[in-house]
């Protein structure tokens, strides 16, 4: 009996192919990020690389999810672990800088064939840190104001107009503050760009100067005043929820979430988006590979697949209505004009070029959030 067992065990061990590996992908963000890998990317990768499997772990929505990935990396880095427990991670822009600075990441972009399809500036600089070569953008996202045309016939085209509109329609504007997801954070950053006394370009490009942080008092005071006429929603999804129930008429949302909710029937098809002047921020999510990944080569293959024009077209644009991570012209060629144009129904490429802004560089970013907590929410 023992021999039979041993034999069975031995054949079992031998039967598995020598190259079989399990690729662990950590992803920050809402459940849709996990679904994207599970339902679309992983099966595709497993089909092209037989014997290998992909395991995806969601670390939670918003900055908190990326923060967990950073902490996990720090823990393993400090423990001098030989191989880390993940091979690929998807993180928010703000957290790439610290990972690169700590020396945890592999500079892999030039080694993969899709590396040269990315030329956008935000793939080289992440909120003030040079990350060239360490990241491949999974997608770009943008925030904008979503509104219910039945309640807002003439949507505000700028922050100024929004302020006046909210005064005339108290309680009809809603946003999720800064604790419930990045669409509210983005609205606050846009507010500082619009009404801060400093130079918005300096906030976006650096360098960081302490003096600059003193120039927001007026803007924050007016934001506090504005917030008394606004409703605070429980999160990114909460804003969309309240819009769909008619409890608010307008509010900042992520463009991709807006489109996918509309596609699922969770939002009425007549709802629209507007990107107000002088602009609201958007951000990419980046693929990164730790230097201590179990199998760096396989991880590179995974990212290469994920950033190939075909996958970017089918997965990123068609399925999830995200703006592509690699340069648009490579992706556009893979798609029917109709699917491509759907991305730009309300927010045109011209609007995006003019009013799609990056977030402020990391130190300003944190300083604005803290100033908000001190003067608006306390």
- The contact set with other proteins (CB under 8 A) reads 62-64, 67, 70-71, 176-177, 179-180, 231-235, 242, 245-247, 366, 369-370, 373-374, 376-378
Encode burial over 62-82: b for 16+ CB neighbours within 10 A, e otherwise. bbebbbbbbebbeebbeeeee
Tokens of 212: 């600059």
Task: State phi, psi for 118 to the nearest 5 degrees.
Answer: -110, 120
* Shortest separation between residue 161's beta carbon and other proteins, angstroms: 24
Q: Which is nearer to other proteins, 94 or 330 (CB)?
A: 94
Q: Which is nearer to other proteins, 117 or 152 (CB)?
A: 152
Number of other CB atoms surrounding residue 289 within 10 Å: 27
* Shortest separation between residue 33's beta carbon and other proteins, angstroms: 17
d(CA 21, CA 197): 54
* Shortest separation between residue 21's beta carbon and other proteins, angstroms: 31
Number of other CB atoms surrounding residue 107 within 10 Å: 14
Q: Which is nearer to other proteins, 303 or 368 (CB)?
A: 368
Number of other CB atoms surrounding residue 48 within 10 Å: 11
* Shortest separation between residue 354's beta carbon and other proteins, angstroms: 30
Q: Which is nearer to other proteins, 114 or 244 (CB)?
A: 244
Q: Which is nearer to other proteins, 2 or 245 (CB)?
A: 245
* Shortest separation between residue 105's beta carbon and other proteins, angstroms: 18
* Shortest separation between residue 68's beta carbon and other proteins, angstroms: 8
* Shortest separation between residue 71's beta carbon and other proteins, angstroms: 7
Q: Which is nearer to other proteins, 112 or 285 (CB)?
A: 285
* Shortest separation between residue 66's beta carbon and other proteins, angstroms: 10
Q: Which is nearer to other proteins, 180 or 282 (CB)?
A: 180
Computed on alpha carbons and rounded to an integer, the radius of gyration of the chain in Å comes to 22
Q: Which is nearer to other proteins, 268 or 278 (CB)?
A: 268
d(CA 32, CA 69): 18
* Shortest separation between residue 67's beta carbon and other proteins, angstroms: 6
Q: What is the DSSP string of 229-255?
A: TEEEPSSHHHHHHHHHTTS-SEEEEEH
Q: Which is nearer to other proteins, 62 or 290 (CB)?
A: 62
H or E stretch including 129?
Answer: strand 129-130
Give the Å distances, CA to CA, from 19 to 87, 278, 302: 16, 53, 15
Q: Which is nearer to other proteins, 67 or 142 (CB)?
A: 67
Number of other CB atoms surrounding residue 221 within 10 Å: 13
Query: Rounded to a whole number, what is the distance in angstroms from the first to the last CA of the chain?
Result: 72
Cis upstream peptide for 278 (omega within 30°): yes
* Shortest separation between residue 180's beta carbon and other proteins, angstroms: 5
d(CA 166, CA 52): 54
d(CA 80, CA 316): 36
């Amino acid at each position: 009996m023992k021999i039979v067992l041993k034999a069975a065990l031995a054949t079992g061990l031998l039967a598995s192919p020598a190259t079989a590996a399990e690729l662990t992908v950590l992803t920050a963000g809402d459940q849709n990020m996990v679904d994207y890998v599970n339902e679309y990317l992983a099966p595709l990768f497993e089909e092209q690389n037989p014997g290998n499997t992909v395991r995806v772990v969601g670390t939670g929505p918003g900055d908190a999810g990326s923060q967990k990935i950073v902490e996990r990396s720090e823990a393993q880095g400090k423990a001098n672990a030989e191989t880390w427990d993940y091979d690929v991670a998807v993180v928010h822009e703000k957290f790439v800088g610290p990972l690169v600075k700590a020396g945890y990441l592999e500079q892999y972009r030039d080694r993969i064939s899709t590396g040269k399809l990315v030329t956008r500036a935000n793939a080289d600089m992440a909120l003030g840190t040079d990350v060239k070569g360490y990241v491949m953008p999974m997608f770009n996202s943008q925030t904008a104001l979503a509104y219910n045309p039945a309640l807002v016939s003439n949507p505000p085209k700028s922050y100024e107009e929004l302020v006046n509109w909210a005064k005339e329609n108290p309680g009809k504007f809603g946003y999720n503050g800064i604790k419930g997801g990045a669409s509210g954070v983005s609205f606050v950053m846009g507010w500082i760009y619009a009404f801060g006394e400093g130079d918005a370009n300096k906030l976006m490009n650096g360098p960081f100067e302490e003096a600059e942080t003193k120039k927001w008092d007026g803007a924050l005071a007016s934001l506090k005043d504005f917030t008394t006429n606004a409703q605070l929603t429980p999160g990114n999804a909460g804003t969309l929820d309240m819009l769909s129930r008619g409890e608010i008429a307008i509010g900042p949302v992520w463009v991709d979430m807006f489109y996918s909710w509309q596609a699922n029937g969770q939002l009425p098809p007549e709802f629209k988006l507007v990107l107000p002047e002088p602009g609201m921020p958007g951000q990419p999510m980046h693929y990164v590979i730790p230097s201590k990944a179990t199998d760096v080569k396989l991880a590179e293959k995974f990212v290469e697949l994920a950033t190939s024009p075909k996958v970017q077209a089918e997965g990123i644009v068609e399925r999830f209505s995200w703006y592509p991570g690699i340069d648009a012209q490579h992706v556009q060629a893979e798609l029917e004009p109709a699917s491509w144009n759907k991305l730009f129904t309300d927010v045109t490429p011209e609007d995006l070029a003019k009013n799609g802004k990056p977030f402020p560089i990391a130190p300003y970013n944190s300083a604005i959030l803290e100033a908000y907590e001190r003067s608006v929410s306390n």
